Amino acid sequence: MNQRFLMTRETVIHDRIKLERFKRTADLGPKILFFSGGSSLRDVSRIMTKYTHNSIHLVTPFDSGGSSENLRKAFNILSVGDLRNRLMALSDQTLSGHKEIYNLFAYRFPKKASKDNLKKTLINLSKNQHFRMRNISPPMKKIISAHLESFLLNMPDNFDLRGANIGNLVLTGGLLKNKSSIEVVLFIFSKLVQAKGIVLPIVEDSINLVTKLEDGSILYGQHLITGKECDKINSPVNEIYLSKDEKNFSRFEVTIKKEISSLIKSADLICYPFGSFYSSLVANFLPTGVGKAISENPNPKIYVPNPYIDPELFGTGLQRQVKEIEKYICLGSIGIEKVLNYVLIDSKNNYYSNKADLKTIKDMGVVIIDTRLITKKSMPKIDPDLFTQVILSLT
């Protein structure tokens, strides 16, 4: 019978001995869990594979912009773009044949090509008659071809392939072919690229993000608050929730699967990383069961705020960010000490070092870890090497 004990120990930031040990036994490395979305952790994920092959990435599948949205509308599926992006970041490019797969899955069709030519290219890829398939090993090539054939078979006549990413088409084709959980398709995809980590969506439903601003505005769709494809918001966020109702914005309740809950509970460290605050981080907390699973994990939980201006955080300082994390994870029934222990900042090299904010956060029982995270080369962003070393030191 297993026995569990809660023990405390002293931790050294940038622990060189520990980091070297992780490098030598990456297969046995720590299970660091990231709640995220988008591309903000791409470089961190690549570096993380040097130290551990057991990192866990729970990703928001609510992207409602770009080519991912075209796939969602055409096939009524969850957004696959961020999942593919993270798997590619974790992929092993050192093995024979895998670099060619990486290059294929990273390839995006040109936006100015004709629709007919793009369809011909996709057909040639599905039949192994394209130079991008030339050096891929036969077993891998067979799987990729089958997924692309499935996509072509189900592709609507009016589907626009301009700007489409091949990796996204392979994932979509796998979903259509297997008529199964995205978990199965991601497992196949991860084997194709030899991903050194686990990547899963927080939920598998095709849902959208609804954002209510303090000025009374209601925005349906994740892309409307990121400031990337639309104008930046000019009022603070009052509330976000999930919905499938584009007209009335009614709430949609969804519960995480047991497998996701188990991953959260088993992590050696839980990180709420930098990136788009609401659409990439807080959106992960909206499904039922996430907060409970986090609270039942006794290991450290760390928030790493953006050191640069995030368009989603209009009028929102660090203190409110912490309170928003508490609000969406705790739902008024869980103490903050069970879901957030540390806030990781570099006060010498960023704009969020408001002393009043830091004091309030400390008064909440959250420890501020102030250490070097930003370099001249990375400024204003966090240096991925430094960040990786600090996070690993805290496990």
**pLDDT tens by residue, 216-227:** 999 999 989 987
Tell me the pLDDT of the chain averaged across its residues: 90
**pLDDT tens by residue, 238-263:** 999 999 999 999 999 999 999 999 99
Tokens of 222: 């994740």
Domain boundaries, the chain: 16-60+204-393, 66-201
- pLDDT above 70 coverage of the chain, percent: 95
- pLDDT attached to residue 174: 92
Compute the distance between CA of residue 225 and CA of residue 230 in angstroms, rounded to an integer.
8
- Sorting pLDDT into bands at 50, 70 and 90, what band is 355? low
Fold of 16-60+204-393: Rossmann fold (3.40.50)
Decide if pLDDT at 1 tops 60.
no
* Bridge partners, residue 272, by sequence: 303
Sign of CA dihedral 345, 346, 350, 356: positive
CA distances from 277 to 160, 306, 310, 321, 349 (A): 31, 8, 7, 8, 20
Coil, strand or helix at 127: coil
Answering whether pTM is above 0.85, one says yes
Q: What is the number of residues in the chain?
A: 395
Decide if pLDDT at 98 tops 80.
no
The DSSP line for 50-94 is TT-S--EEEE-----SHHHHHHHHHH-----HHHHHHHHHT---S
Burial class (CB in 10 A: 0-12, 13-18, 19+), 224: buried
Which helix or strand (DSSP H or E) is residue 318 part of?
helix 318-330
